[in-house]
Amino acid sequence: MPASVAPGDETGTGAPAPPGPAWRRIGLFGGTFDPPHVGHLVTAVNVRHALGLDVVLLAVANDPWQKSHERQLSPAADRLALTQAAVGAVPGLEASDLELRRGGTSYTADTLAELGDAHPGAELFLVLGSDAAAGLPTWARVDEVRRRARVVVVTRPGAEDGRPPPGWDWTRVESPRLEVSSTDLRSRVTDGRPLDYLLTPAVLAAIDARGLYAG
C-alpha cells in the first residue's frame, strides 16, 4: 500500500474504503476442494439458481477436523488457488479464504458466525450433499449451525435421500449428480490418465503450474 494511503483507506482519498458486497442471501459450500471439479461447480450454480442466492461461497477448509486424519491434504494455499481458478468469472460464485485466514481447525459454526457478523441480517444457506446432511448430528457445535443457517440438501433428480434430523430448517435442491471423485482425479494426475471435462482448463493449468498430485 502506498505510504500516502492511510490504513483502511484503499481509495487514497482520505475516505474509508467502500464496504463489501451487500449480499442478502448467501450460500456457504465448504470443502477441501483437493481439487475442485465440475461436480462442485454444477452443484453451486444450480443451488444459486434454484434459491435466488446473491452468491455461493466455495469456502476452502484450512484443517477439516473430520477429514484431515484420513490423508495428507494439499497445502491450503494451493487448494485456494485451484478453487479461485475453478470459479473464474462464473457469476455469483466466489472462492472464500475465510477459514484459511482464521487458521487452525475449520468448524462450520465459526464460519457461519463470521459471515453473520460481516453481513448482518443476511440469510445464510449451508449447502450439503445428502450424505453430509444425514451426518449432521456428528458435527461439532451442531446447535450453532442449526441456529445460524438453513440447510440445503443437494440430491440427484427424483432422489429422496439425505433428510436432516428432525428440527432443522432445510430445503432440497435437485441437481445433476456428476459422479466425480477428487480421489480419482488425484490418481489420474499421478497416472497420466485423461482429465478432460472433469476439471476446468484453468484448474488443470493451475495443477500443472504448482506441480500438484504428480508424485
Q: What are the domain boundaries of the chain?
A: 25-210
Cα–Cα distance between 211 and 189 in angstroms, integer?
10
- Return the pLDDT at 123: 97
- Return the pLDDT at 8: 37
* C-alpha to C-alpha distances, 157 to 31, 95, 150, 175, nearest whole angstrom: 23, 27, 21, 6
Beta carbons within 10 angstroms of residue 108's beta carbon: 24
- Return the pLDDT at 181: 92
- Return the pLDDT at 5: 31
210 and 34 Cβ atoms separated by less than 8 Å: no
- Return the pLDDT at 7: 34
Grid coordinates of 67: 477429514
185 and 35 Cβ atoms separated by less than 8 Å: yes
- Return the pLDDT at 13: 38
Q: What is the dihedral of CA 126, 66, 100, 77, to 10 degrees?
A: -110
* Architecture field, domain 25-210: 3-Layer(aba) Sandwich (3.40)
- Return the pLDDT at 15: 45
Chunked into runs of 10 residues, the chain (215 residues) has average pLDDT values of 34 43 94 96 97 98 74 93 96 97 96 96 95 90 96 85 85 91 95 96 97 89
Grid coordinates of 32: 477441501
Q: Where are the beta strands (DSSP E) in the chain?
A: 25-31, 55-60, 93-96, 123-129, 150-155, 170-174
- Return the pLDDT at 3: 34
